[in-house]
Structure 1
């Protein structure tokens, strides 16, 4: 299935959703209109888990990847891109699963676009997207302590398929 113009007649209202592959755009209204939500592989127990305003999903469309863009990210244990480093080319649920360091204080995006999260199990706590031309250091929290990134995920380069 690549798209549905009207999911209401097929499904009624959405209670939960499981994406087994690919990236999808969910639309609040029929015929691909209204609020849009981009979701990837995973289980979504309710509309809040994909940051939806309500449980109205009336149409959906798969996103086709238009390029085989490589992904590469370099994590550093210290500010200003110094100290031990780890190169990533795929998403990981927890940085500590691949790296025994306690902190990631800076990173360089070498290729692609990446999302970084402050907690392994949540996209809501702190998420930031970075592209290949940006070098960043982890932002400071209100109490001036350094915020650590715990989860990283490459974003696909895509366009909408009609």
Structure 2
């Protein structure tokens, strides 16, 4: 029997992907230090909201450093960076997030291992790596997570691919899905209705990270291979909301 923190659904529901979440708008200004990025991109959901006068965009700001413990060359960003080497960096070895939620990637063009970066300081690679089973001392690209909304995040997880099998709704943080009543240590597919979540391979928010957002793929992740270019297994054992 499922724990009361879950809302059980015996059959997969019929739904229309929800696209009206509380999207966090981007301040599209250029970097404060250094030269501007040559390639920038705005979420396709951001422009209609700006045009309709739905309010001022919140500020996203992150500072990256070439050396550990906030040493060496540094640069501030308020928008995405698809390749830090275009800015004259060899690698990113420490990060200070001043506002907004971000996701870092092992390789350029947002490929490879993913690392959620919430407000705070990350003096060394293992501060954001989620205790991976192998060292990943490289971060080459990063972007804001526009839709992160800790107070209004909601998703469905399904036992099998294509939203089939047993399912439950999640709207909180779950350090162990199995302890809360989930049937096994794997998830077949997911639908993010609002906000953004980070899913972890192991209990206690450890292992590989997979960032799930309502504004990417319309919130639909039909197969575990949609979770990221680094994903090699459907194993998910802990999930939490991303802090903005």
Determine the structure 2 residue equivalent to 1:70.
152
- SS of residue paired to 1:98: coil
Uncovered stretches (5+) of structure 2, i.e. residues with no partner:
1-61, 65-69, 77-93, 98-116, 130-136, 138-147, 227-231
Determine the structure 2 residue equivalent to 1:36.
95
Q: Is 1:106 equivalent to 2:189 in the alignment? A: yes
Uncovered stretches (5+) of structure 1, i.e. residues with no partner:
1-24, 54-65
Superposition misfits of 4+ residues, deviation over 2 angstroms: 32-35, 37-41, 46-49, 66-69
Determine the structure 1 residue equivalent to 2:225.
139
- SS of residue paired to 1:99: coil
Output the TM-score relative to the length of structure 1. Answer: 0.54
What does the per-residue CA deviation read over 1:128-148, in whole Å, with 9 as the maximum and x for residues that have no partner?
1111132112239xxxx8522
Determine the structure 2 residue equivalent to 1:93.
175
Counterparts of 2:220 and 2:149, CA distance in 1:
23
What does the per-residue CA deviation read over 1:34-85, in whole Å, with 9 as the maximum and x for residues that have no partner?
74245669xx9x84431487xxxxxxxxxxxx97750101111111111111
Q: Which has the higher strand share?
A: 1
Q: CA deviation at 1:104?
A: 1.5
Determine the structure 1 residue equivalent to 2:209.
127
Output the TM-score relative to the length of structure 2. Answer: 0.38
Q: Residues 9-48 of structure 1 correspond to what in structure 2 (within 5 A)?
A: 28-29=70-71, 35-38=94-97, 47-48=124-125
Corresponding pairs, count: 114
Counterparts of 1:139 and 1:131, CA distance in 2:
15
**Kindly tell me: are residues 92 and 67 of structure 1, through their superposed partners in 2, closer, same or farther at Cα, counting changes over 3 Å?**
closer
Measured on the aligned residues, the alpha-carbon RMSD in Å equals 3.7
Determine the structure 2 residue equivalent to 1:155.
242
